[in-house]
Structure 1
Amino acid sequence: MTIEKWVSDLAQMVNPQNIKCNESLKQYTMTKLGGNADVFVMPETEEEAANIVKYAYENNVPLLMLGNGSNMVVRDGGVRGIVIHFAKLDRIDIDGEMVIAQSGALIKEVSKLAAAQALTGFEFACGIPGSIGGAMAMNAGAYGGEIKDVIVDCTVLTPTGERIVLSKDELELAYRKSVITKKGYYVLNAKFHLAKGDQEEIDAKIADLTFQRESKQPLEYPSAGSVFKRPPGYFAGKLIQDSQLQGKGVGGAEVSTKHAGFIINKNNATATDYIETIHMVQRVVKEKFNVDLELEVKIVGED
């Protein structure tokens, strides 16, 4: 099958204006890195999303789901096949203490809307830059809170396009992993249970967490956030800092001088620069401390 055939078939399922060929993925990732997607498609409904997933499966077309691109590094050669982007699936509904958010909704927007309704439990997410889909897949967390603390259930598509609902236990949420990543599911929406709280306390907590984030993280540069998972018994940022790697990097990529756990796109870096900087950090930390730094970010695409 040709790219033209994919586009023609997809145009029967979604608005043709939501299909793009040879689309640069730089504008869809927080690192501002990466090559082009053969075909880029944005479903407007969950049914459209299911049809695309089913089509890719039945026709053996490679399919990559892209959320807010906050936890993903796309290689310079881009992505073959179809990239499905859920940005238009961004509805957030609040009913009492229940919050239902679609995959493309930004997690910090869910936190903001919950806070506006005096609902507590989601303050931890006020500064997380990802989407609900990515947050579910990685069991996103910050400042002592994580998705598994508030999740009720999650509706996903299997790789064949079948829609199923997974309970909290079925999601197998653990530190930066879930059954979603293990089985290659695509998140459609998630339901959270929060609690009524004191408006002033919620606002104060969000203000405090926002200050902590803005004062400690290099938000002025494109980055994928925390690049590495926390190794058992250590902190990745401390190991990198103690390895004297801050300010060092390859090409336009650099280990942040503000937060050692971040690798920033400081000066028109390529994805190759960024990935080589990651490997340099892993190599030096292994040599100095005999600790293997495992990636929290996902690297996709071709060189």
Structure 2
Amino acid sequence: MPTFTAFTTLPGKPAAEDLGAAMERLDPEPTGVGVFEIEDGSGLWEVGGYFAQAPDAAALALLAAAFGAAPFAVSELPETDWVAKVRRELAPVEAGRFFVHGSHDSDKVPEGCVALLIEAAMAFGTGHHGTTQGCLRALDRLIGAGLAPRAVADIGCGTAVLAMAAARIWPVPVIASDIDPVAVEVAEANLAANAMTGRVTCIEAAGFDHPRLADAAPFDLVFANILKGPLVALAPDMARAVAPGGAAILSGILNEQADAVAAAYAAEGFAETAREVIGEWTTLTLRRAA
């Protein structure tokens, strides 16, 4: 069965959310609608939908005009077995002592490494993306430097690969949170696949806004692999949640955004101790003042 997509851009979150809601009422109905901020400083938002049959071009044109959006770009996607494609294209990844792989590559795990299994069907956060890989390499450096945390948090955990990596190293409380309930389910599934059920507490939360996070704070290590905007907004809460002398590993940052993120955290008492660029993405390692 073919899949059709229709995407547009427009300025401002309220208008984008209203357009997304209006798309839900189209006939034929979309199978899914997404509204995302474009993290390039333009102030534009992307609104898109997926359809099981070709969307009504006239209705899309009317919506774009009504909401002041750019004309919709409509495409037909080829039928693809995405899980099989991911399995073919995603080779195992080594990041310091960590080895991230799918079950189809279980026979390739090197001896002596810390292996983390992420299935191809749960590909976001497998370690192949420069942000996740940068966080794992930053974690490896902190381990080598002798970090011994009493509590760890993974904010915006996705697959929870970072939380699992920390839990494999240290027998301490680890909390993985995500604003997306599906991500929390994926995190729990990945823990089970790695025989780590119960080693990480998975919760649905926006930032640090959850009683379990409040009770477990302060944290000696926090991961936040999200995006520039949420990272900057999170800086004051991060300063309250990280213990004096504790570390924060931040990613989801385009290279040109790194200085702005570092400045926001410097204003909250964090010092940059390492910066790594992988492709177009930067990972920052910070220490809160003791």
Q: If each structure's strand is expressed as a fraction of its own residues, which one has the higher value?
A: 2
Bin the TM-score by the shorter chain. Answer: under 0.3
Determine which structure has greater relative contact order: mean sequence separation of CA pairs < 8 Å that are 6+ residues apart, divided by chain length: 1
Could you state the TM-score of these two structures normalised by the residue count of structure 2? 0.28
Q: If each structure's helix is expressed as a fraction of its own residues, which one has the higher value?
A: 2
Could you state the TM-score of these two structures normalised by the residue count of structure 1? 0.27
